[in-house]
A and B are shown apart, each in its own frame.
Chain A
Amino acid sequence: MTDETQQMIEHITQLIRKPGMTLDQNTPLVSSGLIDSMALVDLLLKLEDLTHLRIPAGKVQPKDLDTVAKMFVTAQRVGKPRK
């Protein structure tokens, strides 16, 4: 697991504030209702920070963000280098 993946998992753990809940990079987040649409925005921003890419939000679908692993794959697929 990369540092960025670990940082994202920690970020999400803080965000959902569910004591005792452990996440890994394959935990479903969207389809399980653990995170809502406002939180997804926050996660996309975090993903932009961690990957140093600009992610056009219009090209991202819920399934692309369902797990931490999928988020990083999506960032590589649609992200544009930042200036």
Chain B
Amino acid sequence: MQFRNLTDALDAAPASRPFITVWIDEDERETLTFADFRSRARKQAGALRDHGVTFGDRVVIIMPQGIPAMATFVGAMMLGAVPTFLAYPNFKIEPSKYSSGLAGVTANLKAKAVLIDAEFPDDMLDHVSLNKGSTLLRMAGGGEAHTEPDLALPEIQAESLAFIQHSAGTTGLQKGVALTHSAVLRQLSHLQRALRIDGASDRIYSWLPLYHDMGLIACFMLPMVCHVPIVMQSPLDWVMHPETMLQIISEHKCTLAWLPNFAFQFMPRRTPQNRWAQYDLSSLRALINCSEPVRASSMLEFQKAFAIESQVLQSCYAMAENVFAVTQSELNHPPVRVWAEGQAFRSAHRVVPVADGTSGAIAFTSSGRLLPNHELRIVSDSGAVLDDADVGEIQVKTDCMFKGYFNRPDLTAQAIVDGWYHTGDLGFFREGELYVVGRKKDLLIIGGENIYPQDIEEIVASHPAIHDGRVIAMGVYNPDLGTEDIVVVAEVEAAELLADMAKIESEIRSQVVAGMGVAIRTIILKPPKWIVKSTAGKAARSATREKLLQEHPELDVEL
């Protein structure tokens, strides 16, 4: 793969090969060849240029998942502008999340334009608060009859910024991960080799959102650069009717797909058992579990339901800051597992391997081996590099690292120290296999979406009955959903307030849903001085979690 930039890679694609098939419903789908898509992207580039978008300008795209959004993204790149996708409003996202999220992002990016589609709901426009100097543009789809514009496109160098990925889905703390063309191309070249991708025989299936690295890199940039056809549906259509994924893979004989962990059990549980055998998934050669900690039980549930070979199930450890993947499991082999003694793991964070299935042991599933030109080390809290039996922070040094968080040198300097990116994830690295066990940063991952507990805690603490600063939000694994649920513990200002528990709880629930668009599973109100404090007088997160789970064992069903 020898391209100078991403749009050159698109130019080199076989013109008549199908590129994107959008599955709309049972009787409606739209397919574009690489030549069709290139033409759409050029039209969008022309429209953006006419609106004054030029080299280096940041543009924020808030359009429904589909061809117009994708063509606009590539059209912006053709001009040398730097696009980024944000989530389109939908029934699962609260309007208020838009007002603060968007304002922060457009201000930080100093975006030239925010691009929305013709059907963007009018009442949501009030929530699109723009930075001074940004304009709001309603884009047509690029599928109109008029001819391609006469474009004099700029030279785009390999080291120019290609686009920005947003690593967190939540308010206030948005970090724009700025990536160059060369970093993206190097990552794609490693992936192509690791997954032995062949544009002539592979076909990717995806429902993944384009504002997430798995959707943007694995299911848009990878197929565009490696010239692989892709069949996609919208995340909402998949959530509503997950069985359509099986139908699409069967019908289109897809060979590759990426899914977050929760999807591996959501699929069998949402598909009536009498229809499991209807679908032929034998075309799949890799179904890759990525973006949440990998759990063997979830993968096994999928494998049993749909009778696929165990080596088709793969795993991967990825992050927007490295474009995408750091590790990938070995093709044609099921991911490696190790059983570790439970007590040593919990108390000393050490991995003492025991025989498979030993009582009290914990099974970990590997996220795979390092991609070429990737280095990894496991580091203790004090900065010591640990050996292969210890759990610590995963740090990586690679040849496809991000340039930095856009406009945030402060955050970049915290994240990359001496060339090592501090992932904030905890894991161990044994016999060349990486096992991810949790997060050092207190991030919650709810259904594949990153949520900062601080955002939830701030809202809960704003309730007049709650003692400010005495709130802890945490993720507790829910095996029924295969993802984490939010549990909040909070101290009331005075013990008498506990008599009003139901009312306070319901008010907090409404406020959190309104502010974050996520619902809390359990709120536990406690009398003053219940939460464990650190020496600095702050609420101590992990100690409070342990105390809570001891008092409320019904919450902890993980092990």
The reply to whether B240 and A33 form a contact with Cβ atoms under 8 Å apart is: no
Contact bitstring B19-32, A, C-beta under 8 A = 1, else 0? 00000011100000
Residues from chain B with Cβ under 8 Å of A63 in the complex:
95, 123
- A64's closest neighbor in chain B, by CB? B91
Min Cβ gap A62→B in Å is 5
A41-B239, A57-B240 known; 14 new pairs, CB 8 Å cut-off, are A30-B94, A31-B514, A32-B510, A35-B519, A37-B91, A40-B92, A45-B240, A57-B90, A57-B237, A58-B65, A58-B90, A58-B234, A61-B95, A62-B93
The reply to whether B89 and A36 form a contact with Cβ atoms under 8 Å apart is: no
B517 within 8 A of A: yes
Could you say which of B121, B239, B513, B514 contacts A57, with CB atoms under 8 Å apart? B239
Tell me, in angstroms, the Cα distance from A33 to B65 when the chains sit together.
27
Could you say which of A36, A54, A60, A83 contacts B513, with CB atoms under 8 Å apart? A36
Secondary structure call for the B interface: loop
Could you say which of A33, A35, A45, A62 contacts B506, with CB atoms under 8 Å apart? A33
- B521's closest neighbor in chain A, by CB? A36
With A35-B519, A44-B240, A83-B26 known as contacts, the answer to whether A61 contacts B510 (CB < 8 A) is: no
Min Cβ gap A36→B in Å is 3
With A31-B510, A58-B236 known as contacts, the answer to whether A36 contacts B518 (CB < 8 A) is: yes
**Chain B CB within 10 A, most for which of A37, A41, A56, A61:** A37
A75 within 8 A of B: no
Min Cβ gap A46→B in Å is 11
Could you say which of B124, B240, B511, B513 contacts A61, with CB atoms under 8 Å apart? B124
Residue contacts A-B, CB under 8 angstroms, 25 given: A31-B513, A31-B514, A32-B506, A32-B510, A32-B513, A33-B514, A33-B519, A34-B509, A35-B519, A36-B513, A36-B518, A36-B519, A38-B481, A39-B519, A40-B92, A41-B240, A44-B240, A54-B25, A56-B25, A57-B237, A57-B239, A57-B240, A58-B64, A60-B90, A61-B121
Min Cβ gap B114→A in Å is 18
The reply to whether B89 and A61 form a contact with Cβ atoms under 8 Å apart is: yes
- A54's closest neighbor in chain B, by CB? B25
A8 within 8 A of B: no
Residues from chain A with Cβ under 8 Å of B519 in the complex:
33, 35-37, 39
The reply to whether A33 and B90 form a contact with Cβ atoms under 8 Å apart is: no
The reply to whether A65 and B25 form a contact with Cβ atoms under 8 Å apart is: no
Residues from chain B with Cβ under 8 Å of A36 in the complex:
513, 518-519
Residues from chain A with Cβ under 8 Å of B123 in the complex:
61, 63
Tell me, in angstroms, the Cα distance from A56 to B239 when the chains sit together.
12
Number of A-B contacts (CB under 8 A): 77
The reply to whether B509 and A33 form a contact with Cβ atoms under 8 Å apart is: yes
Tell me, in angstroms, the Cα distance from A38 to B510 when the chains sit together.
16
Residues from chain B with Cβ under 8 Å of A33 in the complex:
506, 509-514, 519
Residues from chain A with Cβ under 8 Å of B513 in the complex:
30-33, 36
Min Cβ gap A42→B in Å is 10
The reply to whether A61 and B512 form a contact with Cβ atoms under 8 Å apart is: no
- B449's closest neighbor in chain A, by CB? A37
Tell me, in angstroms, the Cα distance from A54 to B236 when the chains sit together.
13
Contact bitstring A46-72, B, C-beta under 8 A = 1, else 0? 000000001011111111110000000
Tell me, in angstroms, the Cα distance from A35 to B513 when the chains sit together.
9
Tell me, in angstroms, the Cα distance from A63 to B123 when the chains sit together.
10
Residues from chain B with Cβ under 8 Å of A34 in the complex:
509
Tell me, in angstroms, the Cα distance from A62 to B121 when the chains sit together.
12
The reply to whether A37 and B124 form a contact with Cβ atoms under 8 Å apart is: no
Tell me, in angstroms, the Cα distance from A25 to B26 when the chains sit together.
32
Tell me, in angstroms, the Cα distance from A37 to B483 when the chains sit together.
14
**Chain A CB within 10 A, most for which of B88, B90, B93, B511:** B90
